[in-house]
């Protein structure tokens, strides 16, 4: 099976519990892959000093060699090693994998709280990861490690969204089967993710291309089909002849395919469609209860676009001006403006257009339809674009006033929205107003915001107000003087009574176009009988319907999908009737497999059902779902739709799949500096270029740039201001940073820490490779604080420099303030400020003479979610025999969070001479000793006799001097 090919070979699990295997046993069993930095003490105890020293050297050499082999022989040796991460990190990654440290058992103790944290699983492209990808993965890993240590059962899986157009196009270009390239890409992604130490349960790894997985994607489709939520219809689609497939609106930019830049046209095709509109109200209403970014919820509300209004019929007039049998139905949210409708607009693809267009205008209408077919829906409805249209040559009657109004064709009206036709009210709609002015169509104002005469309007007024110019004795409709809302109700009541229309709720949301004319996707489990064309779903017992092997998966050029070339696969027999049939040759879109993968992670090996009910009831919903804001609408909306269907049929127990969604910010490439040039090739300042409209630019290396005030300028000529800009990482801009390079030079823990330290998790940030050195130095300082300074040969001594003594109050206070801050900031996903708190702790700890074990051990546990490799290494050096992955996360003691010091005024002979800082409840003798040692106060006391001391705890210390020879410090 493909699944087994996707996994790297794992060792057999040890006989002990996954995190109970002692390090001594592990080191003894696998010492040849473990460096001396971790196992010196254990190694000596088992092998003796002489033997161990030789083994130690061998292990270090082996670790370095293995790292070189993994990263590639052509890479440079790391040059900045503030600590031996090159030995530590590969070793602990092997340990976690061999001991299945992060495996979530199939049967967990359900009396414990659960935490399901999930990344939006990646599409494994051939380019591999860049440093922007690990931002979200690191955040979820910190949360997963944190919750494990707090006693939660944690589900933290990873998988691959592996079907789709990019793999198919690459396969066509190279002649390589997409299964081969996809499998290779997955292996690379997996290797990169493992090199960063993420605590995924790799035994739950899934891929959408595995038949064991898409069997259940097909099963869900059959449930949709049973309930009338999947159907076929002929609809206008974005057809790309070069790619040979239908494209989604978001895959079309400026009339060409996003991938390859090929021309795209609109053409009608029979397609599979999912009836997501049946769930529109529930998708809208249930948003209110979700802990999602408000911006994401608002985007979904706008995408669904629920509105209340009316459908109104306008009768088409024949060439003699008489009413024909044809009627155009329009949907309007403003029936109160019906008297202002001075023309109708049909979408170019409207079904009635061909029957009503005049002979004179026919040629122009056909030309316009051809042009419109090359535009995407987004392009057609973009407000900034100039409106275009053509007169149909026909007229319709406005039912409100009986007037004949022209019928136009314009692409700003979509055939897929509403009825594909609108009544245009140019006085009260910006688009209609622009169109009417361009084509000299009458404009009639029918709504006024106050009592202003409608003739005073020059710009369209889209708001509500009082109705004017809206009465007809012919039709019997009079709404003059009414408010917009009252008028709208009266118009609807009149339309229903006169059979001219009805009240209607409408949605912008369209049913989901589900079919793709591609090879690399899930087969749709449906066939069609040869004799009758009857649609026959594949019996569930026959699933999965596997994708056939094809050597030629190029587009057919006819609109037929590539699967039609698999003749022996297409020709089949209906298993129920025994009749010959033909399989469906379109495949599912890439969205299909990603709609429900979060459920499969709960029970990935189940061959009998999509997910076990008990497991689903325990793990649902996903507690934290992290991914890019670009998936705010489609992926999240489609997932919610499928989840609600599964809820209705009893497969899942929750109404929503994701409790909390977090969008991480984008990591932009390093800042690029551009100098502007004039026509002669001379540098000119950026503000001058903006004035002159100069376009020529030259990229300037960072070493030739300096900052002057708010701007960047040329070092050699500070009068030349530069353009400084960071862009999204892309190959074309040459600003992609490979995380493998960063890990090789600084280590995975440094990369993890830097990505979290760059700024707030949800904000966009600019990558700066030099910035990683700061967190790398912090880790180096942490290492030396606990392990000690390196020996002259660069190695580190065994163990640590911690002591077993009791900590001071100051040390406890520093620790517990750090615990409190780190805990609060992880809970709030404010990871950068949590790191700042740990840096402050290390700064304070460097001032201590001794470092008590209890303090240092607690700090190592705090560090572990962020820098797990170093933390595991230090934990073992501190003498522990099991992984810290399931140790209890420290809890702050409120006693040490209070500010227990106070400022105590000190008087000499009743005159204020200064203050000292003392602990609350400080004894008189301690307060006096502090005053005596204070430089500002001691000059008043040195050599003087003291008559008495007056001490009010927390209030004041007054020292009364005496001329008699009284020893200083006594009463």
Q: Is residue 88 part of a domain?
A: no
Looking up residue 953, the CATH number of its domain turns out to be 3.10.20.590
Higher pLDDT, 451 or 102: 102
Residue 51 pLDDT class (50, 70, 90 cuts): very low
682-715: pLDDT as tens digits: 898 888 777 666 568 888 998 899 988 889 999 9
Which CATH number does the domain housing residue 229 bear? 3.40.50.620
* 26: pLDDT strictly greater than 80: no
pLDDT of residue 920: 79
Q: Are residues 650 and 674 in the same domain?
A: no
Peptide bond into 345 cis (omega under 30): no
**By CB neighbour count within 10 A (0-12 exposed, 13-18 middle, 19+ buried), where does 955 fall?**
exposed
Q: Say yes or no to pLDDT of 12 above 80.
A: no
Higher pLDDT, 494 or 44: 494
Question: Per-residue pLDDT tens for 556-583?
Answer: 877 789 999 999 999 999 998 999 999 9
Which of 896, 914, 935 is at the close of a domain? Answer: 896
Regarding whether 871 and 837 lie in a shared domain, the answer is yes
Residue 38 has pLDDT above 60, yes or no: no
Domain contains 603: yes
pLDDT (0 to 100) of residue 384: 53
Domain for residue 35, yes or no?
no
Percent of the chain with pLDDT over 70: 88
For residue 794, what pLDDT is reported? 83
Across 144-172, average pLDDT: 94
Is 304 exposed, middle or buried (CB count within 10 Å of its CB: 0-12, 13-18, 19+)?
A: buried
Q: Is residue 969 part of a domain?
A: no
Which of 198-212, 338-352, 360-374, 730-744 shows the lowest mean pLDDT across its residues?
Answer: 730-744
Q: How confident is the model over 716-742, as a mean pLDDT?
A: 84
Considering the chain, what is the average pLDDT of its residues? 87
pLDDT tens track for 278-307: 999 999 999 999 999 999 999 999 999 999
Residue 349 to residue 238: CA distance in whole angstroms: 13
Looking at the chain, the whole-number percentage of residues with pLDDT higher than 90 is 64
Q: For residue 485, tell me if it sits in a domain.
A: yes
Are 659 and 717 contained in the same domain? no
- Specify whether 800 is located in the same domain as 697: no
Q: What pLDDT does 167 receive?
A: 87
Q: In this model, does residue 20 exceed pLDDT 80?
A: no
Q: What number is the average pLDDT over the span 168-185? A: 90
Nearest by Cα to 726 from 753, 684, 758, 692: 758
Is 64's pLDDT higher than 50? no
Confirm whether 860 is domain-assigned.
yes
Say yes or no to pLDDT of 125 above 90: no
* More confident: 602 or 128: 602
pLDDT tens per residue across span 624-643: 999 998 888 889 999 999 99
Q: Which domain holds residue 632?
A: 105-207+596-663
- pTM value is 0.80
Q: What are the contacts of 616-620 at 24+ separation with CB within 8 A?
A: 616/651, 616/652, 616/653, 617/653, 618/108, 618/110, 618/114, 619/114, 619/116, 619/155, 620/116, 620/652, 620/653, 620/654, 620/657
What is the token pair recorded at 467? 């109705």
453 and 533 both lie in a single domain: no
Whether residue 41 is predicted with pLDDT greater than 80 in this model: the reply is no
Tell me which of 871, 896, 921 is where a domain ends.
Answer: 896
Band (56; pLDDT cuts 50, 70, 90): very low
Interval 834-864: pLDDT, tens: 999 999 999 999 999 999 999 999 999 999 9
pLDDT at residue 260, rounded to an integer? 82
Per-residue pLDDT of 71-84, as tens digits, reads 343 444 444 578 99
Whether 249 and 358 share a structural domain: no
Identify the pLDDT of residue 451.
56
Render pLDDT for 70-117 as a digit per residue (tens, 0 to 9): 334 344 444 457 899 999 999 999 999 999 999 999 999 999 999 999
* Phi, psi torsion values for 523, nearest 5 degrees: -60, 140
**More confident position, 768 or 52:** 768
Last residue within a domain, chosen from 635, 663, 691: 663
Shared-domain flag, residues 916 and 932:
yes
Residues 867 and 910 in one domain: no
Judgement on whether residues 319 and 463 belong to the same structural domain of the protein: yes
Q: According to the model, what pLDDT value does residue 250 have?
A: 64
**Residues 372 and 478 reside in one and the same domain:** yes
At residue 257, the pLDDT reads: 85
pLDDT at residue 722 tops 50: yes
**Could you check whether the bond before residue 274 is cis, i.e. omega within 30 degrees of 0?**
no
Better-predicted residue by pLDDT, 436 or 936:
436
Phi-psi region of 420 (alpha: psi -120 to 50; beta: other; left: phi over 0): left
In a domain, 750, yes or no: no
Q: Is the pLDDT of residue 663 over 50?
A: yes
Query: Total domain count for the chain?
Result: 6
For residue 457, the model assigns a pLDDT of 65
Spatial separation of the C-alpha atoms in residues 79 and 696, rounded to whole Å: 39
* Domain match, 321 and 467 both: yes
- Of 303-317, 369-383, 647-661, 872-886, the one with minimum mean pLDDT is 369-383
The pLDDT score that the predictor gives to residue 4 is 31
In this structure, the answer to whether residues 276 and 410 fall within a common structural domain is: no
- Under the banding of pLDDT at 50, 70 and 90, the label for residue 788 is very high
**CA pair distance 137, 850, nearest whole angstrom:** 37
Instruction: Give domain status of residue 971, yes or no.
Output: no
Q: Which CATH number goes with the domain that contains 369? A: 3.90.740.10
Picking from 404, 349, 417, 341, the residue whose alpha carbon sits closest to that of residue 378 is 417
């Amino acid at each position: 099976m493909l699944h087994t090919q996707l996994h790297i070979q794992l060792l057999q699990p040890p006989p002990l519990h996954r995190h109970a295997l002692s390090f001594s046993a592990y080191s003894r069993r696998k010492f040849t892959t473990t460096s001396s930095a971790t196992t010196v003490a254990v190694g000596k105890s088992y092998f003796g000093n002489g033997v161990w020293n030789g083994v130690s050297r061998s292990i270090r050499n082996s670790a370095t060699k293995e790292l070189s082999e993994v990263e590639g022989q052509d890479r440079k040796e790391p040059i900045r090693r503030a600590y031996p991460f090159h030995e530590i990190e590969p070793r602990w990654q092997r340990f976690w994998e061999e001991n299945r440290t992060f495996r979530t058992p199939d049967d967990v103790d359900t009396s414990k709280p659960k935490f399901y944290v999930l990344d939006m699983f990646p599409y494994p492209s051939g380019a591999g990861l860049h440093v922007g990808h690990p931002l979200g993965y690191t955040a979820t890993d910190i949360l997963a490690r944190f919750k494990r240590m707090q006693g939660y059962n944690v589900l933290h899986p990873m998988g691959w969204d592996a079907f789709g157009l990019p793999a198919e196009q690459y396969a066509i270009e190279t002649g390589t089967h997409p299964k081969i390239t996809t499998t290779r890409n997955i292996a690379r992604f997996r290797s990169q993710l493992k090199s960063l130490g993420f605590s995924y349960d790799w035994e739950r790894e899934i891929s959408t291309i595995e038949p064991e997985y898409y069997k259940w994607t097909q099963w869900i489709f059959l449930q949709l089909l049973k309930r009338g939520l999947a159907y076929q219809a002929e609809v206008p689609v974005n057809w790309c002849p070069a790619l040979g497939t239908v494209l989604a609106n978001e895959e079309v930019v400026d009339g060409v395919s996003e991938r390859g830049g090929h021309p795209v046209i609109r053409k009608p095709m029979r397609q599979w469609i999912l009836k997501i509109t049946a769930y529109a109200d529930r998708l809208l209403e249930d948003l209110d209860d979700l802990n999602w970014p408000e911006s994401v919820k608002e985007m979904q509300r706008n995408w669904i676009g629920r509105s209340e209004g009316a459908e109104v019929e306008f009768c088409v007039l024949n060439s003699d001006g008489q009413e024909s049998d044809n009627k155009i139905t329009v949907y309007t949210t403003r029936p109160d403006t019906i008297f202002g409708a001075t023309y109708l607009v049909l979408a170019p693809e409207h079904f009635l257009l061909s029957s009503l267009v005049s002979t004179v205008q026919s040629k122009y209408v056909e030309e316009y339809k051809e042009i419109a077919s090359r535009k995407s829906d987004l392009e057609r409805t973009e407000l900034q674009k100039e409106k275009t249209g053509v007169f149909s040559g026909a007229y319709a009657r406005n039912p409100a006033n009986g007037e004949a109004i022209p019928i136009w064709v314009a692409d700003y009206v979509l055939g897929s929205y509403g009825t594909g036709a609108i009544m245009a009210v140019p006085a009260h709609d910006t688009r209609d107003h622009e169109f009417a002015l361009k084509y000299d169509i009458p404009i009639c104002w029918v709504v006024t915001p106050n009592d202003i005469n409608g003739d005073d309007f020059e710009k369209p007024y889209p708001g509500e107000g009082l109705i004017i110019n809206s009465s007809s004795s012919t039709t019997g409709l009079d709404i003059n003087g009414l408010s917009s809302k009252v008028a709208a109700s009266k118009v609807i009541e009149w339309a229903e009574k006169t059979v001219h229309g009805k009240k209607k709720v409408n949605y912008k949301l369209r049913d989901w176009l589900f079919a793709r004319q591609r090879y690399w996707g899930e087969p749709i489990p449906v066939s069609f009988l040869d004799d009758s064309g009857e649609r026959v779903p594949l019996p569930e017992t026959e699933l999965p319907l596997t994708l056939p092997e094809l050597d030629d998966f190029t587009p057919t050029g006819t609109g037929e999908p590539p699967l039609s070339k698999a003749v022996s696969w297409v020709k089949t027999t209906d298993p129920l009737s025994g009749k010959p049939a033909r399989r469906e040759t379109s495949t599912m879109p890439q969205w299909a497999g990603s709609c429900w993968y979060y459920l499969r992670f709960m029970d990935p090996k189940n061959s009998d059902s999509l997910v076990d009910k008990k497991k689903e009831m325990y793990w649902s919903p996903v507690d934290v779902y992290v991914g890019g804001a670009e998936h705010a609408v489609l992926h999240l909306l489609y997932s919610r739709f499928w989840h609600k269907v599964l809820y209705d049929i009893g497969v899942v127990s929750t109404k929503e799949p994701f409790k909390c969604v977090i969008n991480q910010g984008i990591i932009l490439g390093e800042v690029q500096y551009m100098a502007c040039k004039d026509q002669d090739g001379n540098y000119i300042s950026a503000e001058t270029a903006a004035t002159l409209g100069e376009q020529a630019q030259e990229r300037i290396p960072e070493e030739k740039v300096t900052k002057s005030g708010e701007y960047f300028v040329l070092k050699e000529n500070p009068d030349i201001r530069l353009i400084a800009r960071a862009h999204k990482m892309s190959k074309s801009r040459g600003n992609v940073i490979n995380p493998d390079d960063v890990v090789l030079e600084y280590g995975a823990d440094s990369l993890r820490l830097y990505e979290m330290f760059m700024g707030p998790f949800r904000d966009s940030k600019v990558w700066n490779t030099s910035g990683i050195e700061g967190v790398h130095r912090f880790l180096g300082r942490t290492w030396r604080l606990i392990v000690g300074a390196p020996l002259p040969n660069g190695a580190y001594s065994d163990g640590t420099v911690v002591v077993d003594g009791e900590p001071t109050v100051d040390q406890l206070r520093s620790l517990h303030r750090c615990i409190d801050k780190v805990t609060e900031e992880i809970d709030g996903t404010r990871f950068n400020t949590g790191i700042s708190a740990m840096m402050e702790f290390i700064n304070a700890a460097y001032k201590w003479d001794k470092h008590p074990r209890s303090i240092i051990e607690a700090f190592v546990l705090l560090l572990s979610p962020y820098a797990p490799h170093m933390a595991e290494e230090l934990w073992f050096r501190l003498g522990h025999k099991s992984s810290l992955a399931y140790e209890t996360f420290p809890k702050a003691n409120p006693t040490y969070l209070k500010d227990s010091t106070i400022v105590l005024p000190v008087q000499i002979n009743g005159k204020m001479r200064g203050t000292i800082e003392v602990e609350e409840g400080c004894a008189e003798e301690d307060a006096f000793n502090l005053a005596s040692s204070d430089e500002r106060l001691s000059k008043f006391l040195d050599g003087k006799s003291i008559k008495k001391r007056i001490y009010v705890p927390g209030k004041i210390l007054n020292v009364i001097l005496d001329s008699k020879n009284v020893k200083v410090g006594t009463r």
